[in-house]
Amino acid sequence: MVGIVVVSHSERAAEGIAEIAAEMAGDTRIEPVGGDGNGGIGTVPDAIEDAIDAAAGAGGEAGGEESDGVVVLVDLGSAVMNADVAVELSDAEAVIADAPVLEGAVNAAVAATDPSATIASVREQAEAARDVEKL
């Protein structure tokens, strides 16, 4: 199973995006992470790493299934840099999707429900959200 991490500078925004994506996610693990750790705006590599590890599941397992990696979605500039650091620090296989965070998270959640989902297929669907027209 592929897990998903939603990173935002705002803890509340990350939680809200994860809540929306969870409506489409079935049993997929979606971990929100955001804020500077002191109630302010920002992102912290250690917190992102913890979310990646949680989305992958303890010991490499998610929900009793072997983890197939984690797709990370980010909102803005420094979140990308901090997520890069977290991916490098984590023992879990994780990739960052170049996608709009909300639409990408929803697409990723839908893709992750496919029993044959891979980290590459979930990332690809998250990134396909760049082309979604709203009007």
Question: Which residues are catalytically annotated?
Answer: 9
CA distances from 130 to 80, 105, 115 (A): 17, 11, 24
Query: In this structure, are residues 2 and 73 in contact, taking their beta carbons and an 8 Å threshold?
Result: no
Helix axes 45-56, 77-89, angle to 10 degrees: 60
What is the rounded distance in angstroms from the CA atom of residue 37 to the CA atom of residue 34?
8
- The helix or strand, by DSSP H or E, that contains position 57, with its residue range, turns out to be none
- Side-chain half-sphere exposure of 112, counting CA atoms within 13 A: 33
